[in-house]
Chains A and B, each alone.
Chain A
């Protein structure tokens, strides 16, 4: 019991941090620009493929720096020549714009790298088990993931709360005209923010690419889970997203570990008949089978009982 508890906690924390790594860029863009970026997962995929391509020529580590810079640049171009034009038509137009972008990026990635998975490897330097608990090994690369995730969290928090840049960015969202009057270029601020968000997505891609599967459908398969992280954490709250990632990671991991079903709680169903046969299917479903639904259940509950999320400040 201790064994499964300890290992589940560890697995949950590691998965939660991976989720945060993936969701951090999304939160940044939303909290500072108010744009719900549907193309986030696509930037994440671009990061993974750029990282793969660079790792083939000059190695993983340069890729970890170059790929996010490139994707960040693409993000800025998208903001400057796409999003900014669409912006004046309101949030729905922005949403649809980024939604359309996901399909374009997926198609482009398929054209360049094909539809099959590419062989993106963990760097040699981190390709060893870091420690062993109850005969389960934990690879060093996963700890690296954890470390990067926490570093990004702290760095972002510091920049937003404690620096002038952070102040200007925050002020640009709520009082763009005033910030403009004070001599700051609001448009350029937004462009930079979007670039940073896209770059963060790419960092997640470069790191998750070797750990998971780098394939042209990876943006799709990442799915809506990141939105759950952002909404549960509180729209636009970085600390909220951090806590929500951990919560979802732990929730899902512990759900998988549990084999309890309604039958265990209330006893086996007795009797015959069509109704019993129908209900017995539901009666015997284990918590483990429902693990993938858990985050969405949490999402629904949060929206009902605490619409602004765990740490959000706004109602929307």
Chain B
């Protein structure tokens, strides 16, 4: 009797597992490996909301190649080691498309892990869709055939931003302030080189590094910037380090313009409004909501109605998923070996403005129109404010795709 019971239990569990497996087999699984707890959770959750939104929309229209898209979240706590465990777990669960973005240290760990995994496990290849990490090494010295970068890397952003600043005659003295880690240093180095180049009318009057996410009181830094006589500050800071810096500037009544990379992240527009820095803070991104392009604005309204608590999204994630689905459909297969060649060199109409961008085959870096925008009170035809502040991002300059192209040192090893 007991034997019968045990064997039935085993049989049931085996059948049960295969039955479940068969059902899950019919979906296109996308593993989202990003922080969903701890300090980076806010950014990670926004990406997850957005992926779910994209999946629901695609599924309502019949899915990709007739398969339903399934988003499976994996919390990596913004930690490279944890990320690798989670990527392995995703692979074990049948995921072959890994979407990851937050943190260049995480991205470079995932990129090299995926590359090694693919060379050791032919027939089980996985692709790494990087939607946010912008350390240039990812698409230069450490580039990989299995990695695709959808956000413009540091070199592209610094090039565009410094050109914009040089064209402005009012800018004479620039103070650089960055977080003391790899990303902050790569921005500061590139910016110092560009701005301080021969024939430049701009003088770099300070190049400061602040400890990453450790400073509570930024007023001593503001005092230093003031003493330097700077008229503009360029900063790669993000999160608390940017919000507190800007609030301290507002408190001290410092009148300079701010050139940033991440002022659009959650919480920062609120801090800018609190500091009353009207039309003084600029950011460089792949686009903002107030660009006059109806298809994007309609979709953004729909998205925000769905996630009223976190009405923020990353345009590049729409591009990334749109391009992956397009590649899968063109290849007629969701096997990365088959659809990666379609993704290479693909031209795509950007979500934000409908203008065409392209995925460069040499290094798998996506090139798109870039926008420099400033935060302030809205004008006519500018319907979107940020975080209920009444202030929104307004385009200050447009950088066409052709002006964003930088060289790469990537020597792609193709399988």
Contact = CB atoms under 8 A, between A and B. Distances in A.
Interface residues of B, number: 40
Given A115-B45, A212-B244, A257 B223 contact: yes
A85 interface: no
B330 interface: no
Given A136-B253, A217-B38, A257-B223, A15 B267 contact: no
B333 interface: no
Nearest to B227: A4
A109 interface: no
B228 to A, nearest CB: 11
Contacts of B45: 115
A149 interface: no
B217 A18 contact: yes
Interface string A232-243: 000000000000
B220 interface: yes
A129 interface: yes
Nearest to A135: B226
Interface string B200-231: 00000000110101111101111110110000
A226 to B, nearest CB: 11
Interface string B222-247: 11101100000000000010011001
Interface string A4-15: 100110011011
A128 B215 CA distance: 24
B34 to A, nearest CB: 13
A292 B180 CA distance: 11
Nearest to B224: A257
Contacts of B254: 136
Contacts of B227: 3-4
Nearest to B218: A256
A25 to B, nearest CB: 17
Contacts of A280: none
Nearest to B251: A139
Contact of B209 (A14, A213, A289): A289
A252 B217 contact: yes
A253 B220 contact: yes
Contacts of A174: none
B310 interface: yes
Nearest to A3: B227
Contacts of A40: none
B387 interface: yes
A116 B223 contact: no
A256 B226 CA distance: 14
A151 B175 CA distance: 39
B267 A117 contact: yes
B271 interface: yes
A289 B180 contact: yes
B358 to A, nearest CB: 34
Contacts of A225: 216
A217 B220 contact: no
